[in-house]
Amino acid sequence: QHWGKSPRDRNIPSISPNPGFTRPGNVLHLQSAGHDVEPPLPLSLICQVRIYSEWKWSETDEIANFTNWAVGEPNHDDENCVFMNMITHKWNDAQCIREFSFLCSDETLVLVKERKTWDQALRHCRLLEAENPNEPVDLTCNYRYDLASVRTEDDRAYARLRAGEASTDQVWTGLRFLAGQWFWTGDGEAVQDVDEEMQCGRTQSFCGVLVKNSTKRYETEDCSKKLNFLCYRKP
C-alpha cells in the first residue's frame, strides 16, 4: 500500500540510533504486500516544505536528526516519503503514492498527558490492558502496563525523548520508596545506586520522576503532586 493508506498511519515506526524501550521482535511487524521478492520498506519519514525543506517523523512531527540515506539521496523535490532497502538498509526518497510493504510499531513506552498523583498514575497504567485477556484486569497481578522503570542511560534518553511532549516539566516513573528501600514497581527490583540525598528517604519525596531538561539519574517528588506520566508495556 502507499504511505497514506497504511493501517494506523501514525504508528509506522520512527528509526533512531538508540531506540531504548523498543524491543526487536515484539515491536515491529511486517505485513506482506504480496511481492515475490523482498521489497523495500517505507519508513514514517515525511517532508514538510516551508522556507526550507525538513524531513520529519510522522509520529512525533520531530525533525529527523538521525538519517541513513543511500548515496545521492534524497534527490527529488516531489518525493516526500522514504523507504528502506532491506538488503542495504539505506534510505531512499520516493513519491508517497508508491506501494510497498510497511512496518507498524507496537509502542512499549506511552506518555499519558493527564495530570495525576503517583498512585493515580500507577492505577491508570495498570488498568490499560490485562496481561491475560481472558481474565479481568487485576491491579496486583493481571496487568500488561505499569509505570515505567527507567534503569539505564539508554532508557533515560529514550524516556526523555517521549517526555518532551508532556505538559508538565516532570513525569512520574515507577520508582518508589517504601519500607526503607527504593524499588521499581514493575518487578520490585531494589535500586541501590541512589545518591546520598535519596538514601533512607532523606528527600521527604518518596516517588520517582523524570525531569525533561535534566541529566540526573534519579529525581524525586512529592507523591501527591499531579503530573503527566510514562506507562511501560511489558513484553
CATH code for the domain of 29: 3.10.100.10
Q: Does 169 lie in the same domain as 129? A: yes
Domain that holds residue 124: 109-233
Q: Does 147 lie in the same domain as 96? A: no
CB 210 within 8 A of CB 157: no
Q: Does 115 lie in the same domain as 91? A: no
The model carries a pTM of 0.58
Most confident residue range from 23-32, 116-125, 155-164, 177-186: 116-125
Q: Does 75 lie in the same domain as 23? A: yes
Distance, in Å, from the CA atom of 124 to the CA atom of 128, rounded to the nearest integer, reads 7
Q: Does 221 lie in the same domain as 122? A: yes
Q: Does 146 lie in the same domain as 222? A: yes
Q: Does 65 lie in the same domain as 82? A: yes
Q: Does 92 lie in the same domain as 130? A: no
Q: Does 70 lie in the same domain as 135? A: no
**Which of 73, 107, 141 delimits the end of a domain?**
107
The number of domains in the chain is 2
For residue 53, count other CB atoms closer than 10 A to its CB: 11
Q: Does 204 lie in the same domain as 120? A: yes
Distance, in Å, from the CA atom of 217 to the CA atom of 193, rounded to the nearest integer, reads 9
Fill in the DSSP letter of residue 165.
T
Question: Is residue 159 predicted with pLDDT exceeding 80?
Answer: yes
pLDDT (tens digit, 9 = 90+) per residue, 97-156?
888 766 555 578 889 999 999 999 999 999 998 898 888 888 888 999 999 998 888 888
Q: Does 120 lie in the same domain as 97? A: no
